[in-house]
Structure 1
Amino acid sequence: MDQLTPEVVDAAEGLWSHLQAFFQNLLVPWRLYQLVGIVALILLAWLAARLASPLLTRFLRSRQGWAKWRLRLGLMINRRLRLIFFALFAWITVLIMGELTLPSRSQLIALAAVVSTAWLAISFLVRVIANPFLRKIVTWGAWIWATLYFLGFIEPTSNMLDSIAISFGEFRLSALTVIKALVITGLMIAGARFLSRVVSGRLATNKDISPSMRVLTSKLLQITLFTLAVIVGLRAAGFDLTGLAVFSGAVGLGLGFGLQKVVSNLVSGVIILLDKSIKPGDVISLGDTFGWIEELGARYVSVVTRDGKEYLIPNEDLVTGQVVNWSHTNNFVRLDLHFGTAYEDDPHEVSKIAINAAMSVKRVMPQRTPVCWITGFGDSSVDYVLRFWITDSEGGLTNVRGQVFLALWDAFKKKGISIPFPQREVRVLNDKIAVSDGNSVPPRPEFVTSD
């Protein structure tokens, strides 16, 4: 570290000399007037933004039929009104002063206009980065770089950051290298994410590819693009990755033992996508959970139930456990309803009425005629099972059963078919019973069951 100290001192002196020269140039009278003009433009931009923001907000709220991207663009503009007005007023001032006086008299205001315009352009361009934390880092880094570039401080600042370094043998790591690695890798990851979303959107609209293959292709593309983004970003920043091979292998081995469940879920997710046993849109039952597949993730599967709950089921549970996939090979689902009628009712007539009642429900398949069979002679009723088919299990099972039961109830009421149920009668055998001590006791009831 002692050998690097002179380099740090020289770089710091170079940066300090540039700062002194910059501030000395500001002491020229015309530039002091320009500084006052910049402060006035800032106040004017703040006042204009205060007046325009409520108007723009009301305008955006009244645009009910607008696309989401237009509304988001309007919100972005509303949040940056002060910077927009300042850049606009600064450029107008530069143009006016260029016509009235020498260009040097508006040089500082022109510099402020250029920097504010660069900041504004960066604010809109970084919106392609989806991650908020990464977007904020890239935004501030780009703002600082643009400011230093237009002020002429790039070279002395780079020398200063490059002088702050540590060495391990032949490997030298400086602050400038770390910043370059973060910026370039962040931009590469943002580009990879944007490209991945575009390709995934194209795959989602391709009907020739199965849903499982769409998800698998999208996941493999994301892994490939992100890996290349990290490698290319580090290489572009000057990192020698060959020296990290042994270290990364040891770290990978340790992570493999510590993250067995995570790795198992990742591998299970790939297996699910390859064997096509479960795909987005399928209706499944796993234990007490019944719903449809909303999304196939790298570690879990998102299952949405009829009541709006979203369960995140690990991929390993779907591979090793017993899963009922109601729409694996086709969408046909058979449902059974059990009911009973009185012995006085004709079983042939009951079967016909039950079949016609089931056919009257819209969700019941007309192509596969329902059937109704006697399953036994009970204590108080003749027992039947009514079987019918549906093709939209994602619409729920309980509700279609309820609709068929209501249709049976209405049809039986109309045709005079009775549904028996056990009844109990209480009979009093005598008014009172005498006992040996001459006292009387209340009547003894006797419970008799009659059907």
Structure 2
Amino acid sequence: MTETSTSPLPADLPPFVHTLYGYFEQGLALAQGWLLSPAAWSQFALLLVAYFVARYLSARLLPKVTTFLQPKDDEATGLINEARRVAILFLPLGLPILAYVFTGIGESVTRSVFGSGAVIAFGKRVFLLLVVRAFVRSILKDPFLKLLGRYVLMPIAVIYALGLLDPVILKLSETIVGAGNIRFSLLSVVRGVIAGSVLFWLGGWSTRQSRSYIVAQETLRPATRELASKAAEIAILGLSFLLLMNIMGINLSTLAVLGGAIGVGIGFGLQRIASNFISGVILLLEGQATVGDYVELDGGEQGKIVKMTARAAILETFDGRWIVVPNEDFITTRVVNYSDSGSANRYEADFSVSYDTDINLVPALVEAAVAKHPDILDLPYPPDCELRGFGDSGIDFAVEFWVNGLDDGPNKYTSDVLFIIWNALKDAGIEIPYPHRVVEIKGGGVIAAPEQT
């Protein structure tokens, strides 16, 4: 014998509409039972008492707690002062937490007196919802965490306040999804998305903190600091992945096939990426080129290394361009490092003097003048003026000098030295020749004319 439906809704409506209407009828019956029950009214009264007591105490206590926690000096540092500032951030949770605590006390009283506490239990869940709401609005400052709190934490708190959390969890756990041999419940997917978001945000935050701490250790070589920061980043992300797999309930042995496929992909399509990654590790271990060095590659690329990633190094030229150089190029090609270990660099400036000059006076004159430049070094060698040859128009000299830095970008050492040589020779009355030729005209005289270039 079939049961006759008592629903006033038309029978041709979708099943979920009838289900929703059934929940509505249950809620309506529960509300009517609460409204007609003295125990329910007593619990409503206890909820109001708990709220107003919590409001009164928070208005009296929170300003005093804020004054106590506030550091005397706003710019004071230290672990205790930072802990005080963090504690002040959580003070907006004081009112709903006090209301929740007092409601819990009232719940134990009503259950002992009336044997029921459904209304006050619902009120306690509502106060917990207010705690979550205040936490999302006032405590969370990071944009990603605020987004996660608004669209994940708040809906969960609302479902819990309505008493529907257990049925929703049961339904999600019964819904099975999968791909191939890997099968898991929809609850595992939701739990994995939430846990994965939190874990990888926490991994990124801890990576930034560890990198800042490692970079601040000036006693370590730059290459060692870079290698340590990369190792910390890989370790943190790997641990986050393992924790995520454990939370989702996925057996790592089921990923063996996927791992084999990834290994084959690395062996064929990703071999250059793997090569660049290993080359980057070798570079960091050997320290032959690191962040801050000015390098020139065999292909002509040159610039200052401003960043080293797992795949490539980024060079910044003096004209503002960035050049991305694969790490493999530093291992397989010739690289000139102009600033390894802060060593000095040698440059030279060429000049000429007239054939009428007593060339024995030139070296000492030029060396003494160039040595007065504030950036010219005495070590490893002082300025050295050398005779290079006898040219068509004059006698060729060159002065070699050592400086800390590169003769490019903000530094114009060669230009400064040439100005010094010009002024020193002029002051000594030594002529700097210009190119000229002597032209003979048959049947006539001799004409001296400047050389045409």
TM-score (norm 1): 0.68
> Judging changes above 3 Å, is the alpha-carbon distance between structure 1 residues 143 and 356 closer, same or farther for their aligned structure 2 residues?
farther
> Judging changes above 3 Å, is the alpha-carbon distance between structure 1 residues 331 and 217 closer, same or farther for their aligned structure 2 residues?
same
Give unpaired runs (5+ residues) of structure 1: 1-8, 30-65, 68-83, 99-103, 431-445
Correspondent of 1:408 among 421, 430, 433: 421
Q: Secondary structure at the match of 2:314?
A: strand
Say if 1:189 and 1:226, in contact at 8 Å, map to a contact too.
yes
Q: Deviations over 1:215-266 (max 9, x none)?
A: 1111112111111111111112211121121232123312431122211211
Letter paired with 1:118:
V
Counterpart residue number, 2:389: 376
Counterpart residue number, 2:135: 121
Counterpart residue number, 1:74: none
Counterpart residue number, 1:213: 224
Counterpart residue number, 2:401: 388
2:351 corresponds to 1:339: yes
Q: Distance in 1 between matches of 2:180 and 2:342?
A: 64
Q: Distance in 2 between matches of 1:301 and 1:375?
A: 40
2:366 corresponds to 1:354: yes
2:372 corresponds to 1:365: no
Q: Distance in 2 between matches of 1:376 and 1:397?
A: 32
Letter paired with 2:270:
L
Q: Distance in 2 between matches of 1:230 and 1:116?
A: 33
Deviation of 1:126 (Å): 6.0
Counterpart residue number, 2:334: 322
Letter paired with 1:418:
E
> Judging changes above 3 Å, is the alpha-carbon distance between structure 1 residues 282 and 242 closer, same or farther for their aligned structure 2 residues?
same
Say if 1:15 and 1:156, in contact at 8 Å, map to a contact too.
no
Say if 2:354 and 2:394, in contact at 8 Å, map to a contact too.
yes
2:431 corresponds to 1:418: yes
CA RMSD after TM alignment: 4.5
Deviation of 1:19 (Å): 6.8
Say if 2:308 and 2:314, in contact at 8 Å, map to a contact too.
yes
Q: Comparing both chains, which one has the higher relative contact order based on Cα–Cα distances under 8 Å and sequence gaps of 6 or more?
A: 1
Counterpart residue number, 2:153: 142
Q: Distance in 2 between matches of 1:165 and 1:384?
A: 86
Q: Distance in 1 between matches of 2:376 and 2:27?
A: 82
Say if 1:283 and 1:394, in contact at 8 Å, map to a contact too.
no
Q: Distance in 2 between matches of 1:212 and 1:449?
A: 60
Deviation of 1:407 (Å): 1.4
Show the 5 A alignment for 1:11-410.
Answer: 115=129, 117-122=131-136, 136=147, 140-166=151-177, 171-286=182-297, 287-367=299-379, 368-393=381-406, 396=409, 399-410=412-423
> Judging changes above 3 Å, is the alpha-carbon distance between structure 1 residues 20 and 359 closer, same or farther for their aligned structure 2 residues?
farther
Q: Secondary structure at the match of 1:393?
A: coil
> Judging changes above 3 Å, is the alpha-carbon distance between structure 1 residues 127 and 401 closer, same or farther for their aligned structure 2 residues?
farther
Say if 1:331 and 1:393, in contact at 8 Å, map to a contact too.
no
Q: Distance in 1 between matches of 2:228 and 2:417?
A: 42
Q: Distance in 2 between matches of 1:141 and 1:398?
A: 55
Q: Secondary structure at the match of 1:268?
A: helix
> Judging changes above 3 Å, is the alpha-carbon distance between structure 1 residues 230 and 125 closer, same or farther for their aligned structure 2 residues?
farther
> Judging changes above 3 Å, is the alpha-carbon distance between structure 1 residues 135 and 117 closer, same or farther for their aligned structure 2 residues?
closer
Deviation of 1:23 (Å): 7.7
Deviation of 1:334 (Å): 0.5
Q: Distance in 1 between matches of 2:419 and 2:266?
A: 58
Letter paired with 1:301:
A
Q: Secondary structure at the match of 2:373?
A: coil
Deviation of 1:269 (Å): 0.5
Q: Deviations over 1:239-297 (max 9, x none)?
A: 11211212321233124311222112111101111111111221212244433221221
Deviation of 1:330 (Å): 4.6
Letter paired with 1:345:
T
> Judging changes above 3 Å, is the alpha-carbon distance between structure 1 residues 213 and 351 closer, same or farther for their aligned structure 2 residues?
same
Q: Distance in 1 between matches of 2:28 and 2:376?
A: 83
Say if 1:283 and 1:290, in contact at 8 Å, map to a contact too.
yes
Q: Secondary structure at the match of 2:368?
A: helix
Letter paired with 1:159:
L
Say if 1:282 and 1:326, in contact at 8 Å, map to a contact too.
yes
Give unpaired runs (5+ residues) of structure 2: 1-13, 36-74, 77-89, 104-117
TM-score (norm 2): 0.67
Q: Distance in 2 between matches of 1:12 and 1:343?
A: 109
Letter paired with 1:141:
V
Q: Distance in 2 between matches of 1:279 and 1:333?
A: 18
Deviation of 1:450 (Å): 5.4
> Judging changes above 3 Å, is the alpha-carbon distance between structure 1 residues 429 and 396 closer, same or farther for their aligned structure 2 residues?
same
Q: Secondary structure at the match of 2:366?
A: helix
Equivalent pairs: percent with the same residue?
Answer: 26
Say if 2:266 and 2:274, in contact at 8 Å, map to a contact too.
no
Say if 1:360 and 1:407, in contact at 8 Å, map to a contact too.
no
Q: Distance in 1 between matches of 2:287 and 2:407?
A: 19
Q: Secondary structure at the match of 2:351?
A: strand
Say if 1:282 and 1:325, in contact at 8 Å, map to a contact too.
yes
Q: Distance in 2 between matches of 1:336 and 1:196?
A: 46
Deviation of 1:141 (Å): 2.4
Q: Deviations over 1:406-449 (max 9, x none)?
A: 1112222222222111246999999xxxxxxxxxxxxxxx9864
Q: Deviations over 1:370-422 (max 9, x none)?
A: 10010100011100111000112387486111111111122222222221112
Letter paired with 1:370:
P
Q: Distance in 2 between matches of 1:217 and 1:349?
A: 57
> Judging changes above 3 Å, is the alpha-carbon distance between structure 1 residues 384 and 125 closer, same or farther for their aligned structure 2 residues?
farther
